[in-house]
Chains A and B, each alone.
Chain A
Amino acid sequence: MKTITLNHITKIEGHAKLDLGIKEGVVEKCELSATEGSRYFEGLVIGRKYFEAHEITSRICGICSTAHVTAALMAIEDAVGVKPSTQTVELRKLIMLGERIRSHATHLYFLALPDYLGYESALAMAKKYKNELKTALSLVKAGNKVITLIAARDLHPVSATVGGWLKLPEQETLETLKETLKEVKEDAWKTFKLFSSLNYPEFESKCEYFSLKDNDEYAMLNGVFSSETESFNKNDYKKFISEYHESRSTANFVVKDGKRYMVGALPRLNNNREKLSVDAKKALKESKMKLPSKNPYLNNLAQAIELIHCLDHAIKICSELKIKEEKIPEIKVKPGRGVAAIEVPRGTLWHEYEVDEKGIIKYANIITPTAQNLLNMQEDIRLMVPGILDKPKQEIILEMEKLIRSYDPCFSCSAHFLEVNWL
């Protein structure tokens, strides 16, 4: 039996390992597992006060700390019965948009693009592709600026709290951000043009795709968890989504009614394309991408289209939101359970907490986008590999990594990413 062990799947967040066993052109073993040390964040918040969950879970990941802060705050508010103001929600959306701009730009240029241009790393392509990397950095910088000016820090933001904001931005800050975001809009277009010019492999994942779907806007913080054919409310997630553990992996696998599914920019685009901004719709049309799509490679193109949408949405918030003084509401803690499902750069993120009458956290459950995509990545590789077995070993590895990277996985967050063992 020809065996492959990919011990470090590179250019992804965190670490993972892939064990492949192939006999006479048939894949007999294909096991993808996360190999980072267990993170125990769900255990770390047990016994802590309700207002500490967002600060602790933010540390799950530096790349998407804003996402964890926001999800934790929303789940805790749901548990203790606090309804945030419209202003609070709009400012949360703004920092989430900032984070998505930063994350997509970083993933697209520093991790995905070298694959398509045939370079080992972004640094290796820097001499020839100076302008492209400058474009990336200007988008990253703009995303960082949004989070810093609204939430006080670009990583692990500190001013968002249960019920509101410890410090509100000045109206002028929104004006400044609006100008910054307008300045980089051209960079988002350049990114879209670049990624729509790449040749993506033809491939169809045999999966369902899921994302939040919101009747009011391109889903971010609200909506029902939906695929093309079904949907369910966030509070019922445990009836549909289940996690299971494989001893080889430090991250859980997640299935929906026992079957694999995909989350991320492509499922979001499939479900919410009617809610894209005018310019993002133009880009989608220009891309000639046929939706709904189940080709995970097109997740990169979907991210590029989302960049345009995110900038438009952020500019809209900065233009329309009139900052008014708001006090954080007095919180009378009551025991309860709260669930948040929000759309973050890599897909749908779930946080759930149970709090007692003293505001102590008694239970926590966090399901990250990468954990939800883990089984789908594994089964996609199983499907894809037989078609490329005639290629040299290094090329096979590159193709497998490329497929996995198209999901933009974050194995640090999945509470864990890739090594390949040719068994």
Chain B
Amino acid sequence: MKKLFVFGNEYLENDKYAHEVINHLENVEITKCRSPEDLLEEEGSILILDVVKSLEEPVLIEDLSVLKDRKMVSLHDFDLNFFLKLLKEIGLEKDIKIIGIPEKGNPKATAEIIKKWI
């Protein structure tokens, strides 16, 4: 069964949508991640579902270079972007894809759209 790593804070209005969408997905092994470090346990390919700010339609991100870097001030800023790029740079992960979804929408309809990428 395909694995899907879900990010986002279930308690934040603009960050919880991925958690609503997964309720409408079947035959997928869902892992709710609280920190990018959760991916350290994984070997091989990684498929992530996360909310992307300012997005209007779901997209499949296969090229991590399109992700915006932000200034790293502290360990508290080690975000998913930093962690994925680090894993890629040091060759620990071969294949990382991110299904980006908007902040809000119809969870069932969004689930239908993203099924083709899972």
Residues of A within 8 A of B (CB): 8, 10-15, 62-63, 106-107, 110-111, 121-123, 126-127, 130, 133-134, 137, 140-141, 144, 153-155, 410-412, 417
Binary A-proximity of B41-75 (CB < 8 A = 1, otherwise 0): 10000000000000000000000000000011111
Give the nearest-CB partner of A103 in chain B.
B75
Known contacts A10-B73, A11-B72, A137-B40: A130-B78 contact under CB 8 Å: no
Give A278 Cβ to nearest chain B Cβ, in Å: 30
Residue contact A133 to B35, C-beta cutoff 8 Å? no
> CA–CA, A141 to B37, complex, Å?
8
Known contacts A123-B82, A144-B40: A154-B35 contact under CB 8 Å: yes
Residue contact B75 to A126, C-beta cutoff 8 Å? no
13 A-B residue pairs with CB within 8 Å: A10-B73, A12-B73, A14-B74, A110-B75, A123-B85, A123-B86, A130-B89, A137-B40, A140-B40, A141-B37, A141-B40, A155-B35, A410-B74
Q: Report chain A residues within 8 Å CB of B91.
A: 130
Is the CB of B12 closer than 8 A to any CB of chain A? no
Interface size on B, as a range, is 10 to 19
Name the one of B34, B37, B82, B90 contacting A140, with C-beta atoms under 8 angstroms: B37
Residues of B within 8 A of A (CB): 34-35, 37, 40-41, 71-76, 78, 82, 85-86, 89-92
Q: Report chain B residues within 8 Å CB of A107.
A: 75
Give A214 Cβ to nearest chain B Cβ, in Å: 28
Name the one of A123, A144, A155 contacting B89, with C-beta atoms under 8 angstroms: A123
Q: Report chain B residues within 8 Å CB of A155.
A: 34-35
Residue contact B74 to A133, C-beta cutoff 8 Å? no
Residue contact A127 to B89, C-beta cutoff 8 Å? yes
Q: Report chain A residues within 8 Å CB of B85.
A: 123, 126
Residue contact B73 to A126, C-beta cutoff 8 Å? no
Q: How many A-B residue pairs have CB under 8 A?
A: 68
Residue contact A12 to B74, C-beta cutoff 8 Å? yes
Q: Report chain A residues within 8 Å CB of B37.
A: 140-141, 144, 154
> CA–CA, A141 to B39, complex, Å?
10
Q: Report chain B residues within 8 Å CB of A122.
A: 86
Q: Report chain B residues within 8 Å CB of A137.
A: 40, 90, 92
> CA–CA, A140 to B38, complex, Å?
11
Name the one of B35, B74, B76, B90 contacting A126, with C-beta atoms under 8 angstroms: B90
> CA–CA, A412 to B89, complex, Å?
29
Q: Report chain A residues within 8 Å CB of B78.
A: 110
Give the nearest-CB partner of A134 in chain B.
B90
Give B5 Cβ to nearest chain A Cβ, in Å: 15
Residue contact B73 to A8, C-beta cutoff 8 Å? yes
Q: Report chain A residues within 8 Å CB of B89.
A: 123, 126-127, 130, 133
Name the one of A62, A133, A134, A141 contacting B76, with C-beta atoms under 8 angstroms: A62
> CA–CA, A411 to B77, complex, Å?
13
Q: Report chain A residues within 8 Å CB of B74.
A: 10-15, 111, 410-412, 417
Q: Report chain A residues within 8 Å CB of B71.
A: 8, 10
Residue contact B92 to A106, C-beta cutoff 8 Å? no
Those 7 A-B pairs whose CB atoms lie nearest each other, nearest first:
A126-B89, A130-B90, A13-B74, A141-B40, A133-B90, A10-B73, A121-B72
Give the nearest-CB partner of B81 in chain A.
A123
Give B43 Cβ to nearest chain A Cβ, in Å: 12
Give the nearest-CB partner of A127 in chain B.
B89
Give B94 Cβ to nearest chain A Cβ, in Å: 14
> CA–CA, A122 to B71, complex, Å?
12
> CA–CA, A63 to B76, complex, Å?
8
Give A128 Cβ to nearest chain B Cβ, in Å: 10
Residue contact B92 to A141, C-beta cutoff 8 Å? no
Give A221 Cβ to nearest chain B Cβ, in Å: 24
> CA–CA, A121 to B82, complex, Å?
10
Of B34, B71, B72, B85, which is in contact with the most chain A CB atoms at under 10 Å from its CB? B72
Give B99 Cβ to nearest chain A Cβ, in Å: 23
Residue contact B35 to A13, C-beta cutoff 8 Å? no
> CA–CA, A133 to B37, complex, Å?
14
Name the one of A11, A62, A133, A140 contacting B73, with C-beta atoms under 8 angstroms: A11
Give B31 Cβ to nearest chain A Cβ, in Å: 13
Q: Report chain B residues within 8 Å CB of A12.
A: 73-74
Residue contact A13 to B72, C-beta cutoff 8 Å? no
Give A17 Cβ to nearest chain B Cβ, in Å: 12
Q: Report chain B residues within 8 Å CB of A410.
A: 74
Q: Report chain A residues within 8 Å CB of B41.
A: 141
> CA–CA, A411 to B74, complex, Å?
9
Name the one of B34, B72, B86 contacting A133, with C-beta atoms under 8 angstroms: B86
Residue contact A412 to B76, C-beta cutoff 8 Å? yes
Of B34, B35, B73, B86, which is in contact with the most chain A CB atoms at under 10 Å from its CB? B73
